[in-house]
């Protein structure tokens, strides 16, 4: 990955890091990695093949053999467009469970690093700066309160025409936060060299502007 510029954005579920990372990647002309999609795809593939999400060995084998393709903003699993399916709340829960397994994370590590191409990459996830791209030029920990994140997720679901329970979403996010922070492998946290960006009171445009400003400062000094 020598010579390839990398901007890593980590943070909890529904913090908006995906939307921010996509916008920043487009502005910089960089490639984009949604690492969470790989864990969601692993959870979906396991479900489709009858592998229980608690079966670490089984899920790791599924992760190693994922037939995945990202194309024109769509995500394909074994040739099927699963772009919407992997964004369901159920698959989100599954992704959080399988992501706690060391063998699953190891199985997906090389695949994530393959996304680093010239001129650069913007990667978002839970451990982009700490594990996958520890030498990234800029690392950001992007977060917001659980209540704000739940409201954002609630609005996303309503906009897609799905039923949603705000209280249930809040509880689920809090549970995911606890599980992601407590896991032994690559726990979710702000690491020492990552800049904190709290977005509860910021619009998407404001967050993107801030990240681009930080990138400019970091790469021009």
Output the known binding site for ATP. 11-19
* Distance, CA of 33 to CA of 115 (rounded, Å): 7
**At CA 156, angle to CA 150 and CA 161, rounded to 5?**
125
* Distance, CA of 34 to CA of 25 (rounded, Å): 11
Enumerate the known binding-site residues: 11-19
* Distance, CA of 98 to CA of 119 (rounded, Å): 32
- CA distance readout (Å), 30 to 33, 41, 94, 185: 10, 23, 29, 28
* Distance, CA of 143 to CA of 198 (rounded, Å): 5
């Amino acid at each position: 990955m020598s010579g390839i510029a990398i901007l890593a954005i980590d943070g909890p579920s529904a913090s908006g890091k995906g939307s921010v990372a996509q916008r920043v990647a487009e502005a910089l002309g960089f490639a984009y990695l949604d690492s969470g999609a790989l864990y969601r795809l692993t959870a979906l593939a396991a479900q489709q093949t009858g592998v229980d999400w608690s079966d670490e060995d089984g899920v790791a084998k599924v992760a190693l053999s994922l037939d995945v393709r990202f194309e024109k903003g769509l995500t394909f699993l074994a040739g099927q467009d699963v772009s919407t399916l992997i964004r369901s709340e159920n698959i989100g829960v599954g992704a959080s469970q399988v992501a706690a397994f060391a063998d699953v994370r190891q199985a997906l590590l090389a695949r994530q690093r393959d996304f680093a191409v010239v001129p650069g990459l913007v990667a978002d996830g839970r451990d982009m700066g700490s594990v996958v791209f520890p030498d990234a030029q800029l690392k950001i920990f992007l977060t917001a309160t659980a209540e704000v994140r739940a409201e954002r997720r609630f609005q996303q679901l309503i906009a897609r025409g799905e039923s949603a329970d705000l209280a249930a979403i809040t509880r689920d996010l809090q549970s995911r936060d606890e599980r992601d922070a407590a896991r032994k492998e690559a726990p979710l946290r702000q690491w020492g060299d990552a800049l904190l960006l709290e977005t509860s009171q910021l619009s998407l445009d404001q967050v993107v502007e801030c990240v681009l400003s930080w990138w400019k400062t970091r790469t021009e000094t």
